[in-house]
Structure 1
Amino acid sequence: MLRFIPKSFGRHLRIIRSTRAASSLSLIKNEDLVQTGAFINGEFVQNDAKFLVRNPFDLSPLAEVTDTSLSQVNDAINYSKEAFQDFSRNTTPRARAAILSNFYRLMIENKEDLARLITLENGKPLSDARGEVSYAASFLQWFSEEAPRINGDLISSANPANRILTLKQAVGPVGILTPWNFPSAMITRKLSAAFAAGCTVVIKPASETPLSSLALCQLAREAGVPAGALNVVPVNNKMTPKVGEIFCESPILKKISFTGSTRVGKILLGESASTMKKLSFELGGNAPFIVFSDVKDIDKAVDGLISSKFRSSGQTCICTNRVFLQDEIYDEFTSKLVKKLKATTKIGNGLDESVTHGPLIHDRALEKVQFQIKDATAKGAKIVYGGHALPELGPFFHELTVLTDVGPAMDIFHNETFGPIAPLIRFKDTDEVLRLANDTEVGLAGYVYSSDISNLFKVAEQLGVGMVGANTGLISEAALPFGGVKQSGFGREGSKYGVDEYTVLKSIVLNVKD
């Protein structure tokens, strides 16, 4: 049975009563944004089962969040079905656009609080968190403008008496599974396109970062999102696979949108087979960052690498994983990279405005970084910067690290790090670097720096990835069709193509002959 907690007195019952946690969450000025109940049918729902959310900076407890039961997950799915009929058919595209626009405005008004929530539960520095909130809100703005422009076509028929019309209709209720590294943006990138199309959603956020998703629910309710159109069901890590299975096997949910690892994506793909639902998966990457010797401004390329590789301590899906440097500039680039890192970076508590890089998210992330460094150095790589954990700062801190003399025999060459290591690899010419860069089963993003426009296009076109940054290390924005190829998944998010993932195309053949 669902148990509803009025927002007027629920907050103080839900927050962990420790001095450190209280002082952390007391930074959130808008207390209504601090929610810990599952959001089902327009209400925050509490039950007796809870799981603890900790700050990865020092493992201090932040809050106990409702551990949604499987029956409550099914309730949320059923509510999304009930809400879908009205939301898709009786809410005009302009009305949905107004809701998304209101949602955007509320996010911007609460930007600082939302950023602090992200930093508290994710660990990323405030500057990065503020950037994420702006990025997250931009999807609401973008799809508020796309909603009234979801149009079909009139197609000429071979039969002169017929007309062929196409309609784009909402696919139905959608199940959304999001990761911890962008706890706000990964939600808005999906739900804003779904809402624009007229879909209702049930979201399972990452168990490490549910507070940001629940804060968005509060703003969504204020923005006018109807009850049942948005449901969020946080669960502990152990229950996550079961909820994913329920989503995939539910005949009610007509689509799954998932951002996460390729391994989990394959599991969800198999579990969805019985219902033949629509899928869009944004999975793992192994992004190459290629710098040719003809580049006119090596410093610009260094800055691009730092932005791409070390943002959020390397914990983004489109982070550079392998750095390919042409022989002629290898040493100069390495020297400038190390010098720039020494001069411009500071590791610590993300709430400190002077900090540029925070902790990793958990012990498994730290262990992977340490393993890859140990494996690489045992096989001939050299540490020229960093290389060590920083337990004096907190349990999950690690130095930004640069490795030279990296080669294909090393684990880091083939497997995504999701951490702050830049492995530098030499190459001789275009053919060699394309062969090395494409020697991977995944293909999400890639980066190339060159002053030869012909070579730039050649490499960009032949890289086996879904997105390329050409002379830039920053590519993400709402206008970008975001997605990969090969085992990095399928489907696109954002851009004018993002709505198509949440629609089905219906054809009507009209005979106009009397």
Structure 2
Amino acid sequence: MGSAQKYELPFKLKNTELLHNLSFVHGEWKKSRSGKTFEVVDPGTGKAWTECPTNDASDVDDAVQSSQKCFEEYKKISPRQRAQMLFKWDSLIRENKEDIATILVYETGKPRAEAYGEIDYSTGFTWWFAGEAERIQGSVFTPALPDRRVFTIKQPLGVTAALVPWNFPIAMILRKAGAALAAGCTMIVKPSPETPITVLTLAYLADKAGFPKGALNVLTTDLDKTPELSEALCRHDLVKKVSFTGSTRVGKLVAKICSDNLKKVTLELGGNCPVLIFDDASIDQAMGQIFALKYRHAGQACITANRIYVQSGIFDKFLERWNAESKKIVVGHGAEKETTMGPVTTPRGINKALALVEDAKKKGAKIHLGGNKVSKNGGYFFEPTVITGVTPDMDIAKEEIFAPVCTFLKFDTEEEVVKAANDTSMGLASYCFTKNVDRLWRLFENLEAGMIGLNTAMSKPKKDTTIALVPDQDVTLAESGQLMTVTLFSPIEGSVRHVTDVCVSVDACLKSPYLKRLVEVAKDPANIILDNGLTSDTGGVNTQSALVWLAHLHGLSVKHMAELGLNNVAPVAVWEVLQIWIVQEKRGDIQDLKPWFDAWYETAVAGKTLTHYVAGLLAFPCQAFDHAVGFANVTKYLVYNTVGGIKDRKPKGIKLKTFHLAPNEFIGPLNHARGGLKTAMHKSIWKKANNVLRFDTEKCNCWDATIGQYLAALVKIDVFPIEDAMARSSFQGILERMKHFEFDYTPACDRCQSIDFVYGVRMTRQFTQGYFDGLCLDCMDRSKPKGKDLDDEYWRINANVNKRWDSRCRMHHGQPTWYVSWLGRDDARQKLLKEAHGYHDDEEDE
């Protein structure tokens, strides 16, 4: 780093080779022709910590010629080779994540957690475009003349230029450069004067990833020379495309300059984004989403909430919650662990925020919180600010704020608020929160914005966030051209009453009758009526393809699908199967366990909701549910009636690990965990689960626990493999919702009311021809036939000759005497085990 002696670095990096402060042209680090430099300042202290070259128009041609020379060869590289370089670049960025985050903190001021979040979000672009490199295809079609064919091919444009902002420099570079490099173009980047080091770090890693010299050049400059350098790039004949992200004012100038040479241009400009919160919205959900969106990076995001419209019925309550949460914000340097909001990146941002607040006060607005600059260590800090009484004539209602200043406006009707929300020339994004699905559809179509968040603010990029690239909507001045933007479909969190989190760019997919049905049932997902679900409105058509399509299109998790009603189950169908079994006497113990199924069925029918249905299943004891019906059979019918949608047809190719529906989400993994107990690993799981149950529920064995208790134990010991993470998450959600659910039926021995009745009836029905019906083990022993002890040869012979149960018994004990594994922990049982097989029950657990 050229200025290491002049400035003292306020931080240390693990990989010091990342830090560069000279322009990067054709694989070399260069000073400007003038030799002039500008300082890079830490917004948290106001102190400079390095300097970069002040390039001007005279430096542009060298960089462009370098990129053009590289392009002549780079365009010939195969898409797979380009993809491999992008994957390598992505890998290097992830490997150096901690150091890059540190640089980002000291350039932008954002807290370290937000810096990590930006990197995680941004690498989604490199990963995506690496895959897209091999999917660039042309087309063939028949023109008016039938004996002719028209072919189209897609070729890289050439040298491109990227003018990027300071608020999310990593995201902007990887989004623009990732697309250009994947397509075979070369790129020259002009970073913001506030964040040149981050961009130079990415250029260094791109070089290490194997991109040829000139593929990615970087020219730095100060604020005064930015117009000159940018205009020279836009006017250069060899630059074929310009991508700009920044203010609307500057965007107009860029568009005008590019239009002189009919140069392709993509603009992503400012936003004056409204949020509409209706009376029926979940306050917790809206708060969690909008609060994070508004205060992220101290309010310096183009899609942040500028105008928060709250319906009059909940206005006061919502404002009270917002003020209380805002007071908890810890303002400080981004490198400090306790900081939850960093400084504004530039002193210009402080001056603008003060001017907007002062204008609002003069015109009658009320300042509930903040409104002032914070004097702290010389940094550019501003208080979290809350303002009400905002009117359309105030500057703060018309301009992009770019500061931690929240404006609240009260409204009464939907028509009124839609008109107010659309009253802007910067329709970048809009957000709305309501449980009314009809209203969601109206807002979906009536809000004039390039991105619309329905019950989501797209505010929490994560590692598992799915990225879907779609062409932008050309709405007002916010986004023009054909920029490939990113729409986030984050995993639903929190309340089960999330309706959806889709954006307007996927509206075409919602024309399907399957999905229209989903929107209808999504009004209140926790209370979905348990009819025949999707099949009742689709004529029995198999909905498997619709579910897969929807899941892939939206990147939906299992939890998404459950929230949207995709787990709509018909318990009546399962009950009909049980009735057939009883009539046909396929299982001798069905009749004895019928009260369990009666209770389950009555609970589901009485409540008629998915919640009731799942609660009934969770209340079953493990061994009753497993051996009375069989996990595999019941699971098959559940999946079959939900996903397949056609009765009386055997489902094919359904794997339990796919977890298509809520009941199967716990039945499948439960069967998976206990079905392989014959292996050492699963015996270990069994033992761990036993220990948890002994401690938490005073149950001595997993078989004695209910399905709900066993699930809780599995969650606690974390038995699920990585690919089943969604199932584990679903378990936790289901168990949480069932905490306060009561289930009426409790089986008991006819004499002593012991729970041992459950396995007592099974043993007596199978081996004593009903002699001990309804009795637990102890009562059985007291009422045993004359001359027949529990350890008598009679029992062992009947058990050993009964081959039908051999597989079950081997699954647990590895011995054919199946029933002894479910007998109570009494002396008779231990004696029988010791005598028959040479080991004690307690010894087995060891």
Fold agreement, TM-score > 0.5: yes
Structure 1 unaligned blocks of 5 or more: 1-10, 497-514
Cα deviation per residue 1:56-86 (whole Å; 9 max; x = unaligned)?
Answer: 1111111111222433221001111111111
Per the alignment, residue 23 of structure 2 pairs with 38
Contact 1:348 1:393 survives alignment (8 Å): no
Match of 1:237, SS? coil
Per the alignment, residue 85 of structure 1 pairs with 72
| Aligned residue pair count | 478
Contact 1:288 1:445 survives alignment (8 Å): yes
Residue identity opposite 1:306 in structure 2: F
Give runs of aligned pairs for residues 260-275 of structure 1, distance below 5 A.
Answer: 260-275=246-261
Residue 447 of structure 1, aligned match among 431, 438, 451: 431
Tell me, in whole angstroms, the C-alpha distance in 1 between the residues paired with 2:447 and 2:82: 38
Tell me, in whole angstroms, the C-alpha distance in 2 between the residues paired with 1:108 and 1:236: 29
What's the offset of the Cα at 1:241?
Answer: 0.3
Deviates more, 1:198-207 or 1:400-409: 400-409
Contact 1:299 1:336 survives alignment (8 Å): no
Residue 483 of structure 2, aligned match among 488, 492, 496: 492
Residue identity opposite 1:438 in structure 2: N
Residue 37 of structure 2, aligned match among 37, 43, 50: 50
Match of 1:479, SS? strand
Cα deviation per residue 1:327-351 (whole Å; 9 max; x = unaligned)?
Answer: 10100100111112223x2110100
Residue 464 of structure 1, aligned match among 424, 448, 463: 448
Whether 1:351 aligns to 2:335 is yes
After TM superposition, the score normalised by the length of structure 2 is 0.55
More strand by share: 1
Cα deviation per residue 1:213-253 (whole Å; 9 max; x = unaligned)?
Answer: 00001100110111011100001111110111111111100
What's the offset of the Cα at 1:488?
Answer: 1.2
What's the offset of the Cα at 1:167?
Answer: 1.1
CA gap 1:122/1:198 in 2 versus in 1, 3 angstroms: same
Tell me, in whole angstroms, the C-alpha distance in 1 between the residues paired with 2:471 and 2:285: 24
What's the offset of the Cα at 1:54?
Answer: 0.9
Whether 1:400 aligns to 2:400 is no
Deviates more, 1:280-289 or 1:42-51: 42-51
Whether 1:214 aligns to 2:183 is no
Tell me, in whole angstroms, the C-alpha distance in 2 between the residues paired with 1:184 and 1:395: 23
CA gap 1:473/1:236 in 2 versus in 1, 3 angstroms: same
Cα deviation per residue 1:273-316 (whole Å; 9 max; x = unaligned)?
Answer: 22111110000110001101111x20110111111211100001
Give runs of aligned pairs for residues 116-195 of structure 1, distance below 5 A.
Answer: 116-195=102-181
Give runs of aligned pairs for residues 249-288 of structure 1, distance below 5 A.
Answer: 249-288=235-274
Whether 1:302 aligns to 2:292 is no
Tell me, in whole angstroms, the C-alpha distance in 2 between the residues paired with 1:15 and 1:306: 40
Q: CA RMSD in A?
A: 1.5
What's the offset of the Cα at 1:460?
Answer: 2.3
Tell me, in whole angstroms, the C-alpha distance in 1 between the residues paired with 2:108 and 2:471: 23
Tell me, in whole angstroms, the C-alpha distance in 2 between the residues paired with 1:479 and 1:154: 26
Contact 1:288 1:324 survives alignment (8 Å): yes
Tell me, in whole angstroms, the C-alpha distance in 2 between the residues paired with 1:373 and 1:61: 29
Residue 70 of structure 1, aligned match among 57, 60, 64: 57
Contact 1:286 1:443 survives alignment (8 Å): yes
Tell me, in whole angstroms, the C-alpha distance in 2 between the residues paired with 1:102 and 1:494: 23
Residue identity opposite 2:483 in structure 1: R
Match of 1:416, SS? coil
Tell me, in whole angstroms, the C-alpha distance in 2 between the residues paired with 1:52 and 1:213: 15
What's the offset of the Cα at 1:485?
Answer: 2.0
Tell me, in whole angstroms, the C-alpha distance in 1 between the residues paired with 2:301 and 2:365: 24
Match of 2:62, SS? helix
Residue identity opposite 1:285 in structure 2: G
What's the offset of the Cα at 1:137?
Answer: 1.4
Whether 1:17 aligns to 2:6 is yes
Contact 1:193 1:494 survives alignment (8 Å): no
Residue 327 of structure 1, aligned match among 312, 326, 333: 312
Tell me, in whole angstroms, the C-alpha distance in 1 between the residues paired with 2:192 and 2:401: 19
Tell me, in whole angstroms, the C-alpha distance in 2 between the residues paired with 1:392 and 1:225: 43
What's the offset of the Cα at 1:479?
Answer: 2.2
What's the offset of the Cα at 1:393?
Answer: 4.5
Residue identity opposite 1:131 in structure 2: G
Contact 1:132 1:185 survives alignment (8 Å): yes
Match of 1:328, SS? coil
Cα deviation per residue 1:25-79 (whole Å; 9 max; x = unaligned)?
Answer: 4x22211111011100111113432111110111111111122243322100111
Per the alignment, residue 371 of structure 1 pairs with 355
Per the alignment, residue 290 of structure 1 pairs with 276
Tell me, in whole angstroms, the C-alpha distance in 1 between the residues paired with 2:424 and 2:471: 19
Whether 1:115 aligns to 2:104 is no
Residue 221 of structure 2, aligned match among 235, 255, 259: 235
Contact 2:107 2:195 survives alignment (8 Å): yes
Residue 187 of structure 2, aligned match among 198, 201, 214: 201
Tell me, in whole angstroms, the C-alpha distance in 2 between the residues paired with 1:346 and 1:385: 14
After TM superposition, the score normalised by the length of structure 1 is 0.90
Tell me, in whole angstroms, the C-alpha distance in 2 between the residues paired with 1:16 and 1:261: 36
Tell me, in whole angstroms, the C-alpha distance in 2 between the residues paired with 1:268 and 1:451: 42
Whether 1:421 aligns to 2:405 is yes
Residue identity opposite 1:370 in structure 2: L
Structure 2 unaligned blocks of 5 or more: 488-846
Tell me, in whole angstroms, the C-alpha distance in 2 between the residues paired with 1:181 and 1:194: 21
Tell me, in whole angstroms, the C-alpha distance in 1 between the residues paired with 2:321 and 2:471: 31
Per the alignment, residue 29 of structure 1 pairs with 14
Deviates more, 1:40-49 or 1:479-488: 479-488
Per the alignment, residue 736 of structure 2 pairs with none
Per the alignment, residue 298 of structure 2 pairs with 313
Residue identity opposite 2:192 in structure 1: A
Residue identity opposite 1:55 in structure 2: D
Match of 1:64, SS? strand
Tell me, in whole angstroms, the C-alpha distance in 1 between the residues paired with 2:372 and 2:54: 36
Residue identity opposite 2:42 in structure 1: N
Tell me, in whole angstroms, the C-alpha distance in 2 between the residues paired with 1:32 and 1:327: 56
More helix by share: 2
Tell me, in whole angstroms, the C-alpha distance in 2 between the residues paired with 1:432 and 1:208: 40
Match of 2:373, SS? coil
Contact 2:56 2:225 survives alignment (8 Å): no
Percent pairwise identity: 38
Cα deviation per residue 1:375-412 (whole Å; 9 max; x = unaligned)?
Answer: 11222211122222111353411111111121112111
Whether 1:479 aligns to 2:468 is yes
Tell me, in whole angstroms, the C-alpha distance in 2 between the residues paired with 1:392 and 1:354: 15
Larger Rg: 2
Match of 1:443, SS? coil
What's the offset of the Cα at 1:442?
Answer: 1.3
Match of 1:294, SS? coil
CA gap 1:292/1:393 in 2 versus in 1, 3 angstroms: farther
CA gap 1:152/1:495 in 2 versus in 1, 3 angstroms: farther
CA gap 1:224/1:342 in 2 versus in 1, 3 angstroms: same
Tell me, in whole angstroms, the C-alpha distance in 2 between the residues paired with 1:317 and 1:211: 22
Per the alignment, residue 503 of structure 1 pairs with none
Structure scoring higher RCO (CA < 8 A, sep ≥ 6) equals 1
Residue identity opposite 2:325 in structure 1: K
Residue identity opposite 1:385 in structure 2: L
Per the alignment, residue 499 of structure 1 pairs with none
Tell me, in whole angstroms, the C-alpha distance in 1 between the residues paired with 2:174 and 2:184: 15
Tell me, in whole angstroms, the C-alpha distance in 1 between the residues paired with 2:351 and 2:197: 26
Match of 1:426, SS? strand
What's the offset of the Cα at 1:156?
Answer: 2.1
